[in-house]
A and B are shown apart, each in its own frame.
Chain A
Amino acid sequence: DIQMTQSPSSLSASVGDSVTITCRASQSVNTRYLNWYQQKPGKAPKLLIYATGSLQSGVPSRFSGGGSGTDFTLTISSLQPDDFATYHCQQSYSHPPTFGGGTKVEIK
C-alpha cells in the first residue's frame, strides 16, 4: 500500500495568512490520482482539489494544489474563517486508495 504522510499534523494561522500543507507519498503517484479533501467537525469530507491541481466546482480560487512524484502541496492563500478545517490528501493511483492522516488548520 502507498503510505501518505501529511505535515504538519496541525497548524495555527490567522485570517489572511497563506498556509501550505505537504503530502508525501511512500512511492511515486501519478498527478492525475492525487486529491485533497476538506472536512469540518461533524461533517463529511468534501472534495476540494482533484488531479493534483484541478479545483472542484465551487471551490474558491484561493485554494491551489501542486506537486509531482512523491511530494504534493495544498496552499490556501489568504485564509478565510470558513477555511478552518481538517484537510486530507488521498491517492487513487495504486490500489488500495489511501489517505493521509489529515492536517487540522486552527485559528490563531
Chain B
Amino acid sequence: QVYLVESGGGLVKPGGSLRLSCAASGFSFSDYYMTWIRQAPGKGLEWISYISRNGDTIYYAGSVRGRFTVSRDNARNSLYLQMNSLRVEDTAMYYCARDEVVTAGDAFDIWGQGTMVTVSS
C-alpha cells in the first residue's frame, strides 16, 4: 500500500515557525517529484511548493516564497516544509502529495491525510 503521512502541524503565533514532515511508504520515494498543497478552512486548494526527485529543482507559490523552504531526504523517504514568519492567512490544512509527472501528466495521484496549521495570537 502506498502511503503519505504528514505530521508537525499545530497552533503557532504570528511570526512563528513550524516544520512539517511527510513520511512516504509503499513506493520508491526517490523516483517521484513531491508537492505541498494547502486548503484554508472552507476554501479551495492552493499549490504551494514542489521539489524534484533529487531536490535540485524547487518552486514556490508567490504567497510563501521567501518564508517557506521545502526539502527532502530520500534516504529517510521523507519530505519537509519549514515554515517561517507565519501569518494568520497561512492557517490551513497542509497536504503532501506525490506528483505523477510521467504517466499522469503532472497530476497529484497520492495524498496524505493532511496536518492542520493554525496561526493565531
Please give the residue numbers on chain A whose beta carbons come within 8 Å of chain B beta carbons, in ascending order. Answer: 32-33, 35, 37, 43-47, 50-51, 54, 56, 88, 90, 92, 95-102
Q: What distance in Å separates the Cβ of A56 from its nearest Cβ neighbour in chain B? A: 7
Interface of B toward A, CB cutoff 8 Å: 35, 44-47, 50, 59, 61, 95, 100, 104-114
**With a CB–CB cut-off of 8 A, which chain A residues contact B108?**
35, 37, 45, 47, 90
23 A-B residue pairings within 8 Å (CB atoms): A33-B105, A35-B104, A35-B105, A44-B95, A44-B111, A44-B113, A45-B45, A45-B95, A46-B111, A47-B104, A47-B110, A50-B105, A54-B104, A90-B45, A90-B107, A92-B105, A92-B107, A96-B47, A96-B61, A97-B35, A97-B50, A99-B47, A102-B44
A44→B109 contact, CB < 8 A? no
Q: Which residue from chain B places its CB closest to the CB of A46 in the assembled complex?
A: B111
How far does the alpha carbon of A56 sit from the alpha carbon of B104 in the complex, in Å? 9
> CA separation between A56 and B61, bound complex, in Å?
27
Using a Cβ cutoff of 8 Å, how many contacts connect chains A and B? 62
Q: A95-B59, A96-B61 are in contact. Are A47 and B109 (CB under 8 A)?
A: yes
Q: B99: shortest Cβ distance to chain A, in Å?
A: 8
Say whether B109 contacts A51, CB under 8 Å.
no
Beta-carbon contact of B105 and A100 below 8 Å? no
Interface centre among B46, B107, B114 (most CB of A within 10 A): B107
A32 neighbours in B (Cβ, 8 Å): 105
How many Å from the CB of A88 to the closest CB on chain B? 6
Shortest distance from the beta carbon of A104 to any chain B beta carbon, whole Å: 11
- Residue from A46, A97, A99 within 8 A of B106 (CB atoms): A97
Chain A residues closer than 8 Å to B105, beta-carbon distance: 32-33, 35, 50-51, 92
CB-based contact B112/A44 at 8 Å: yes
Question: Do A92 and B106 have beta carbons less than 8 Å apart?
Answer: yes
Q: Which residues of A contact B35 (CB under 8 A)?
A: 97
Contact B111 A98 (CB under 8 A): no
